[in-house]
Structure 1
């Protein structure tokens, strides 16, 4: 059987009871989920902002992973370049030894060929994640090497990646398609003003388009001028290798700076998201306690209102 409550006091108490019960349920849900704004219905503006920030945070995680991969690629290339510097330095020493008539040039020639094999092997083995920054076999050489360094959002929320780049021409040591694009395979002039030209290259890897000039090698017929020209070209190669190593070192430093920035920005985004949607547990605890107390008081008041008038009078005496 249904009853209709007409007592104004009881109706007011019921209204209050509904309000405090709703408040208690809301706070309890916020405490359980740890989210003050769980859906757009809770606060459309905060929810939308937090959703965008979460998207940025996820993008930063991807950027962080890409930076780690990029750092590994650069480290691999840098290590290989420093190794090449050591081997080319040994080749230079071998040529210097050949300038002394007392040394056996046949033996020095064998030694040099071994060093050349080391160079070719080192370049071919520098492969990380499917990329070899020191070797090119394609008809068209890459323009630059790059790793993802971050992103920016456009005026309408578009995602634009930012890359850390380095000229690919500086890292190509061997080019099997066109020898002139590889530092170790291209022809280098010992004297740009010399006529006829005195051009030399270090490695012959059978490139489709071979280098002009003479291969750097030692033989019994090598003249003093030949050896001096070879030393000049080797010095040029060493200078280029040192510049490449320095450039890769700078690139690696930029990557490390971006990694630190991404980590700091990610922490900042998490803090911002929390400020927008997370529940303040201390405040929620106080609110929940207050709502429960108010509900208990309203329930007690309704109980009193439902007692007989005589009992109410007795309480008032």
Structure 2
């Protein structure tokens, strides 16, 4: 049946042409935007995933900036620490030269003083954007380290930031100060006695370590007839118990800084004992103190049941207002103008050199880790971008071929619609 009111052929041709035009518009949009999923209506699930990944890419770009800043800061500190190590090595050469009696020790001391001033200048200049990792004298908790943003960790519960923590390594030469009065004073925080038992360990892990708290070694040897050792030589206090005033004046003392552990305090006190031993010409067979982990190992080969040596570690609380000194403050005590001073300086310089070497090594390790993370973040960012492209980018070769095919289909659709629209005209012949 033919009808002038309903043209089924035209309706079919029209629907086909609409479909072709819709697909052609989609293809043209892909070509113009370069994406198959440009908006949420194109594919809401894929669009949502791509937007989350794009946000992560933006975040990782910020992380790269943070890592670059941190790397530069640590690199400056590492270079300065290496320079300080070299300068300390030069000082050691001067000290060794001063061991010879037929030298001008005053001129050698002048050279040492100049090198010491140079170390102070290097440490003071070792800052990047106002941050100096070679100075750590603040009493504020957490000020002994910096956190460098290194990653974003996404999980089902959300996103968390990860940091690379870099500890400050103080190489300043400023002197410490312990208050002679006030605050919380403990005469014997830990104590041990060498008698017939010739090896004892003082466990410093039982003490609270905090910035500004001072630790001082107290020695009180007893040998009534001075047959085994001269008891006066192995006493650094007037009585068996140290007073706070004596702790304040004691060379074998250390004011802890933020980030220090019992192991750090033990190591530094052992180094100060080595210097004290050489400066006072004492016999290590009578008393030797070595650091072992968080403890001080006391040894003697001469004590017995009656001839004994008591060693304690006294503490002066941070509430006393102690001043934290630089880790290289011992340079101020280096004086080679006398033979005794030269001997003492040779003992102390080893510990100072090790301090600088350990600091440079710590910064080098941190810098290596930052560089590794930078490479990882760069690769991860590229992988995320590639993944986003796989999800939303258009295949331009395919789009080009599809465009040409759709254009041909569009022309044929228009032709088919034109033919269908002319079909009712044949009905006019029935009425002629």
Structure-1-length-normalised TM-score: 0.83
Match of 1:126 in 2: 126
Deviations 1:255-314 (A, max 9, x none): 1111111111111101110111111111111222222111111100111122256779xx
Q: 1:177 to 1:11 in 2, by over 3 A?
A: farther
Structure-2-length-normalised TM-score: 0.62
Match of 2:93 in 1: 93
Match of 2:155 in 1: 154
Q: 1:63 to 1:301 in 2, by over 3 A?
A: same
Q: 1:175 to 1:11 in 2, by over 3 A?
A: farther
Match of 1:174 in 2: 172
Q: 1:297 to 1:114 in 2, by over 3 A?
A: same
Q: Residues 223-302 of structure 1: matches in 2 within 5 Å? A: 223-224=339-340, 226-302=341-417
Match of 2:217 in 1: none
Secondary structure of 2:128's counterpart equals coil
Q: 1:307 to 1:227 in 2, by over 3 A?
A: same
**Residue pair 1:137, 1:175 contacting (<8 A) in 2 also:** no
**Residue pair 1:136, 1:176 contacting (<8 A) in 2 also:** no
Cα displacement (A) at 1:51:
0.5
Please give the alpha-carbon distance, in whole angstroms, between the structure 2 residues aligned to 1:101 and 1:8. 121
Say whether residues 1:189 and 2:272 are aligned partners: yes
Secondary structure of 1:263's counterpart equals helix
**Residue pair 1:138, 1:177 contacting (<8 A) in 2 also:** no
Q: Which moved more, 1:280-289 or 1:27-36?
A: 280-289
Q: Which structure shows the bigger proportion of residues in strand conformation?
A: 2
Deviations 1:15-47 (A, max 9, x none): 111111011011101110111111111111100
Please give the alpha-carbon distance, in whole angstroms, between the structure 2 residues aligned to 1:65 and 1:100. 54
Please give the alpha-carbon distance, in whole angstroms, between the structure 1 residues aligned to 2:325 and 2:82. 26
Please give the alpha-carbon distance, in whole angstroms, between the structure 1 residues aligned to 2:174 and 2:391. 57
Cα displacement (A) at 1:176:
5.4
Cα displacement (A) at 1:140:
2.9
Secondary structure of 1:174's counterpart equals coil
> In structure 1, which of residues 193, 197, 217 is the aligned counterpart of residue 334 of structure 2?
217
Secondary structure of 2:170's counterpart equals coil
Moved over 6 A (4+): 195-198, 211-214
Deviations 1:230-266 (A, max 9, x none): 2122111112221222222121111111111111111
Q: 1:195 to 1:175 in 2, by over 3 A?
A: closer
Q: Residues 107-146 of structure 1: matches in 2 within 5 Å? A: 107-140=107-140, 142-146=143-147
Match of 1:63 in 2: 63
Please give the alpha-carbon distance, in whole angstroms, between the structure 1 residues aligned to 2:57 and 2:50. 10
**Residue pair 1:24, 1:292 contacting (<8 A) in 2 also:** yes
Please give the alpha-carbon distance, in whole angstroms, between the structure 2 residues aligned to 1:193 and 1:104. 25
Q: 1:310 to 1:11 in 2, by over 3 A?
A: closer
Please give the alpha-carbon distance, in whole angstroms, between the structure 2 residues aligned to 1:125 and 1:214. 19
Please give the alpha-carbon distance, in whole angstroms, between the structure 2 residues aligned to 1:196 and 1:260. 51
Q: 1:245 to 1:228 in 2, by over 3 A?
A: same
Please give the alpha-carbon distance, in whole angstroms, between the structure 2 residues aligned to 1:20 and 1:81. 72
**Residue pair 1:98, 1:218 contacting (<8 A) in 2 also:** no
**Residue pair 1:64, 1:259 contacting (<8 A) in 2 also:** yes
Please give the alpha-carbon distance, in whole angstroms, between the structure 2 residues aligned to 1:177 and 1:234. 16
Q: 1:105 to 1:246 in 2, by over 3 A?
A: same
Q: Which structure shows the bigger proportion of residues in helix conformation?
A: 1
Q: Which moved more, 1:94-103 or 1:43-52?
A: 94-103
Q: 1:195 to 1:77 in 2, by over 3 A?
A: closer
Please give the alpha-carbon distance, in whole angstroms, between the structure 2 residues aligned to 1:310 and 1:215. 114
Please give the alpha-carbon distance, in whole angstroms, between the structure 2 residues aligned to 1:38 and 1:209. 60
Cα displacement (A) at 1:68:
1.1
